[in-house]
Structure formats: structure tokens, C-alpha cells
Chains A and B, each alone.
Chain A
Amino acid sequence: SQKIEQNSEALNIQEGKTATLTCNYTNYSPAYLQWYRQDPGRGPVFLLLIRENEKEKRKERLKVTFDTTLKQSLFHITASQPADSATYLCALDMYSGGGADGLTFGKGTHLIIQP
């Protein structure tokens, strides 16, 4: 069956360092992969999308890579700040093969940036 795996344990990073989060998936070839941020008591907020034919995407201090051979995406936050502390979710289009009908989400990684 299709599966998305994110490191379920909390990730503790010192302020100013680069945080790297991992998203692995099996048994599927998604057209794109997305990353979201979720704060406690709130809905997820979209951060970045990377398509299957893209290796890397950047937005300010964020960088996402997508290796379709390894079936893995890495999410990097450079110069991390305590305000970056949140749960980060990866999501794939498991239902439509390229549309926006609905996503399958990983369970998320809780990132803690310590001052």
C-alpha cells in the first residue's frame, strides 16, 4: 500500500543552525510534493510545492529537494529561529496523479528551535 513516512520524533535544533526534515514515500509516483507548517490549534499552512521534474525549490530561508529515484524529499530551514518551531507536514497527490482533488499527508515532524 502507499505510505508516507516522516520522522515522528521531535527534532531539536540550535538557533542559527540548519534544520533538515525528511519525507519518504513508497509505492507511488506523485506528480508533486508539498510541505506545510502547522502550529498548535491551527490548520496547516502551505509553504512550498516541488514537481516531479524539479530537483530543488527555494523560498527565502526554505529549501526543498525531491529525489524521485530515492522516493524522498528533504526540507531545509537555514538560519533557524525559535519562531520556526512548529510541526511540518509533507503531502503528496495520492488520489489524482497530478490534480488538486485531495492530498495524502505524512504524520508530521515536530521541530523545536532552541535559543
Chain B
Amino acid sequence: NAGVTQTPKFQVLKTGQSMTLQCAQDMNHEYMSWYRQDPGMGLRLIHYSVGAGITDQGEVPNGYNVSRSTTEDFPLRLLSAAPSQTSVYFCASTPLGGNYEQYFGPGTRLTVT
């Protein structure tokens, strides 16, 4: 199993540009989520999904869209990038039941200039 994969690993955007951060998991996990991590702020939940076709907002959803058309994929879209969205983005998946253990991807480091 590859686990949770994220692409790209690094990205530089100009203010106003849009892009999609990709996240995929091959563990057949029901739950997936997106976090951003900023120095001094810790990890903050952006959006999450409890299954295909179902998404919901987390703590900091503004400026981001998500969709979950398949169990495997959970892309995060930045509609119009702003410097405040400069951050490291982590995708995570969680199996149904058990320890609710979150499996994190390696992260995407995004810089918006």
C-alpha cells in the first residue's frame, strides 16, 4: 500500500491564481480530511469527508473547496490564492471504527506571493 499520497510536494502561486492539491489513499478509508499547519498555530482542520459524496467544513474553510466523488480521492481547491494561504497542507485518512487513527500524507508546501 502507498498509504496517503499528496501532490505536488511544493508549489508557488501568485495571488489570485487557482490550483488543486491532490490527495489519494489506497486503504479504503471512509474518512478523509485536510489540515493546514502554520508556525505557532498548529494543525487546523479545513474540510473533512465521512464518505463519498459527503463533505463538511472544519475550523478554517474560507477560500477552499473540496469534493469527494470516490472513496480514494479528496482534492482541495484554492479558488483565488492569497498570501494568507501560504502554509503546509496535510491530507489524512481514517478507517471506520477502531482507534480513529489518522494516517497523514507527506504534505504540500504552498507559497503564495
- The answer to whether residues A46 and B102 also contact, given A100-B94, A103-B45, A104-B45 and a CB cut-off of 8 A, is yes
Contact with A101, one of B48, B106, B107 (Cβ below 8 angstroms):
B48
Interface size class of A (residues with CB under 8 A): 20 to 34
Total B residues in contact with A, Cβ cutoff 8 Å = 30
Residue numbers in A under 8 Å from B95 (CB-CB): 100
Residue numbers in B under 8 Å from A43 (CB-CB): 4, 90, 92, 104-107
Q: Is the Cβ of A108 less than 8 Å from the Cβ of B42?
A: yes
Interface: B56 (CB within 8 A): yes
Query: Contact string, A65-102, partner B, CB cutoff 8 A, digits 1/0?
Result: 00000000000000000000000010101010001111
Residue numbers in B under 8 Å from A41 (CB-CB): 107
Interface: A34 (CB within 8 A): yes
Query: Residues of B at under 8 Å CB distance from A?
Result: 4, 30-31, 33, 35, 40-45, 48, 50, 56, 58-59, 90, 92, 94-96, 99-107
Query: Residues of A at under 8 Å CB distance from B?
Result: 32, 34, 36, 41-46, 49, 89, 91, 93, 95, 99-108
User: Given A34-B100, A102-B33, A102-B45, 8 other A-B contacts at CB below 8 A?
Assistant: A43-B4, A45-B104, A91-B43, A100-B50, A100-B96, A100-B102, A107-B40, A107-B41
